[in-house]
Structure 1
Amino acid sequence: MSLFNRIANLTKASLHEVLNKLENPVIMTGQYLRNLEDDIRIAENMLKEQQMNASIRLRKSEDAANAAKESELRALAALEAGDEAGAKVAAAAKIRYEEQAQQYATEAKEAQDRVAELEYRLKEGKEEHARLKEKRNELATRVRKVEEHEQMERPNFSRGMDYGAAARGFERMEEKILEWEAGTQLSGQSYTGSGASSATNPEDNTAVAEELQRMKEQLASRKN
């Protein structure tokens, strides 16, 4: 099933371009959660429909099976009465009802299988929603820390975009926040020293560059 695998409205390339320009990516995680909530509601409605469908098919199968038994009794009674023509009609009806009973039973089984799959997908979706909601809180906390260090440099923040693919989006959000955190550390170093004319230690810049490279490699290994 692709119920919880929505394709984003934006292409991956344009999505990354937007994220690179966006100053507060955590805002977008709310849209991811809303998309997932919509999917969960759709699945819940589908589950109810399939449960009803399975119930109806089972009842029809039982009714057809009962009708087949009644037709068999009529055929036997007709034979005992010497009514061969009536026995043939009743026997034909019995066969037809048995076929219907089998068909309805097959359809009921298929509906029950869909019910089981939807129940599993719903459980997965709700667990994923809870995990991403908690992750969003974590990312929001990290963003607030960045904002506190960059109030003068980043006074305003952009507001959301609409696209899906919740889990992949959250990973991209975290990558963006890691870049901010690293940038905040570098910015903090630029204010150290005796005054505005003091030089930055080249070794410190090298260490920061190495640390940024390490984090980029770490993110790349997670994706792989």
Structure 2
Amino acid sequence: MIFKRIRDLVVSSVHEGLDKLENPVALIKQYLRDVEFEITKAERTIAHQVLLEQRQAALVSDTKALIAKRARQAQLAVETGDEEIAKVALQEKIVLESKLTTYESQLETIATQTETLNNQLRDLQEKYADMQAKKRLLIARSQAAQTSYDLNCTLNSIDADSAVRGFARMEERVLLMEATAEAGNRVRATHLQLAKYATDTALQNKVEEELAKLKASQEA
């Protein structure tokens, strides 16, 4: 009984310790949900970044077209002898060229950021794919470990000595039942044999003769 109490205390302590551990299956699923959330957030960010890049590219294209237009206007004004119009057109052209340098620099920065975000998203998607591939294996291993633990707990909860004693008592009881039945069969067989002898007159006469001889031999 003392050893049984100790064993029960140990099993109880193990149960309590495992209850405090985080569920690995739940953790795996939570990690995947977290990565899915990050992927969705990254996709939204990249979509916004691509839109920004497209707008910046359009601004660069429009500025270049406007510069070319002012250059043609200045050339036409010079050809027609209208220097004031030519100066205004050239002035606007110079200002636009300065802005174009800034716009192109900004476009390059935005494009670099977009490429960086795309690379990061691809890395995240690859990691997510790897996690998905490993998820089933990890869940299977976790379930196998849990099943093994449950079986061990079941085995530990069984009192082997008590079970053996119980089976021994059952065996003794069966043996007693078999012996009782065998004894009953023998008694019944004996009664049947005696009844058979009682109905056999010749046999009874011979028995009487043998009995008389035994008595006579004792008296002599």
Q: Which residue of 2 aligns with 1:121?
A: 120
Q: Which residue of 2 aligns with 1:21?
A: 20
Q: TM-score, normalised by structure 2?
A: 0.57
Q: Which residue of 1 aligns with 2:184?
A: none
The structure with the larger Rg is 2
Change (3 A) 1:84 1:47: same
Aligned-residue Cα RMSD (Å) equals: 2.9
Q: Which residue of 1 aligns with 2:39?
A: 40
Q: CA shift at 1:103, angstroms?
A: 2.2
Q: Which runs of 5+ in 2 are unaligned?
A: 1-16, 163-220
CA distance in 1, matches of 2:143, 2:65: 68
Q: CA shift at 1:115, angstroms?
A: 1.8
Q: CA shift at 1:19, angstroms?
A: 9.4
Change (3 A) 1:60 1:154: farther
Give the 5 Å matches for 1:140-151: 140-151=139-150
Percent identity of the aligned residues? 26
Aligned length, in residue pairs? 144
Do the aligned residues in 2 keep the contact of 1:63 with 1:101 (CA within 8 Å)? no
Determine which structure has greater relative contact order: mean sequence separation of CA pairs < 8 Å that are 6+ residues apart, divided by chain length: 1
* AA aligned opposite 2:27: M
Give the 5 Å matches for 1:40-119: 40-119=39-118
Do the aligned residues in 2 keep the contact of 1:147 with 1:154 (CA within 8 Å)? no
Q: TM-score, normalised by structure 1?
A: 0.56
CA distance in 2, matches of 1:19, 1:90: 81
Give the 4+ runs in structure 1 shifted more than 3 A: 152-155
Change (3 A) 1:92 1:20: farther
Q: Which runs of 5+ in 1 are unaligned?
A: 1-17, 156-187, 197-224
Change (3 A) 1:83 1:34: same
Aligned-partner SS, 2:150 = coil
